[in-house]
Amino acid sequence: MRLGILLAGVLFLTGCTDYKYGIYWNPSEERYAQQSVSSVNCSIGEINAYRAIESSHQLIAPFFIPLFHNVERSDESIHIKSKGEGCPSLIVKDQYNNVLQHTFQEQDGKGCDYYIEYPKSGEKISVLVVDITPDCNNHELSYSKDRFFCMRPTEFGGSAPCE
């Protein structure tokens, strides 16, 4: 009987824990602005690269007993946004030099949104942004795969983020 009460007390005091794990794709830089080149309007005015969540899972374990599994919203692709005249072209490769598919959508002549598929294997992606205007600079950025795992106490109103 005492053992049962002791066990119930320990379980009550341990509370609820949740485990979070997944994969992020992090850009090497989040913003690049083309320096003005004489009086030429470059097609790359500014580039914004965003972190993408390939997968994110949460396992809620009341009293260390895993009971609830939650798959959180994931991004469908890696997103890059360019601002400027026209759309610069992209050359996207994985770490094995395989070309990755991507699509773009022009935003009323004021830039483009690019969507890059996740690579099937590899830990890095390189993106060469080619400015189609003569005398303008190309720009290269990269993405790296970052896996995460954390164990944290569950709190009402939201747990602390895993970073």
In a domain, 64, yes or no: yes
In a domain, 42, yes or no: yes
Asked whether residue 12 carries a pLDDT value surpassing 70, the answer given is no
Joined tokens for residue 57: 């899972």
Within the chain, where are the H helices? 2-14
User: What is the residue whose two structure tokens read 């080619």?
Assistant: 130
Structural domain range at position 68:
14-152
Q: What is the pTM of this model?
A: 0.71
Q: What is the pLDDT of residues 88-110, one digit of tens each?
A: 888 999 999 999 989 999 888 77
Q: What is the pLDDT of residues 142-156, one digit of tens each?
A: 899 988 888 777 766
Contacts with 14 (C-beta within 8 Å, 6 or more apart), sequence order: 63, 64
Q: What is the mean pLDDT of residues 40-54?
A: 77
Residues of the chain with pLDDT > 90, as a percent, come to: 12
Q: What is the mean pLDDT of residues 5-16?
A: 58
Contacts with 104 (C-beta within 8 Å, 6 or more apart), sequence order: 87, 90, 112, 113, 114, 115
Q: What is the pLDDT of residues 52-66, one digit of tens each?
A: 888 888 777 776 667
In a domain, 126, yes or no: yes
Q: What is the CATH number of the domain that holds 116?
A: 2.60.40
In a domain, 41, yes or no: yes
Q: Where are the beta strands (DSSP E) in 36-116?
A: 46-49, 52-62, 68-71, 78-83, 89-94, 102-106, 111-116
In a domain, 159, yes or no: no
In a domain, 163, yes or no: no
In a domain, 125, yes or no: yes
Joined tokens for residue 134: 């003569």
| pLDDT at site 96 | 92
Q: What is the mean pLDDT of residues 6-19?
A: 61
In a domain, 7, yes or no: no
Question: How many domains is the chain built from?
Answer: 1
Local confidence band at 160 (pLDDT 50, 70, 90 cut-offs):
low
CA–CA separation, 163 and 159 (whole Å): 12
